[in-house]
Amino acid sequence: MNRTSMALGMKFLMTLIASGITLGFLAGNSWGRVILFSVLATGLNYLIGDLMVLPRMGNLIASIGDGLLAAITAYSLTFLLRDFYTTTFSLLSLAVLVAIGESLFHIYLRRDEKVMP
């Protein structure tokens, strides 16, 4: 397994923990829905946040953007999937947890020369 795949795995795990707490525990979604969200959010945050925003605007803006993108993705799923629920508190909590996790993840990305951007 190369370093980039390992980094994406860590990003997925971080997203899964944040969404498990907020979308699973607080909003009452099933683990299947939480996992589906985590896959989508990891992919979107990597493509948009890590590859496009982080190199141009830095860690703070990218982290806030990743948190907001995760919340917007979760909110969008309430319209696309039956049996997917959010609350204002779960979305705000998700945004904060993802932003904190992403800020630490971005520090790791910038320090590790072997992880592809």
User: pLDDT of 71-94, one tens digit each?
Assistant: 999 999 999 999 999 999 999 999
In a domain, 61, yes or no: yes
Q: Which domain holds residue 96?
A: 3-111
pLDDT of residue 2: 81
In a domain, 72, yes or no: yes
In a domain, 116, yes or no: no
How many domains is the chain built from?
A: 1
Mean pLDDT of 16-44: 98
Q: Closest Cα partner for 88 from 100, 71, 69, 102? A: 71
Q: What is the pTM of this model?
A: 0.93
In a domain, 117, yes or no: no
Higher pLDDT, 55 or 86: 86
Q: Closest Cα partner for 45 from 109, 98, 100, 90? A: 98
pLDDT(101) > 60: yes
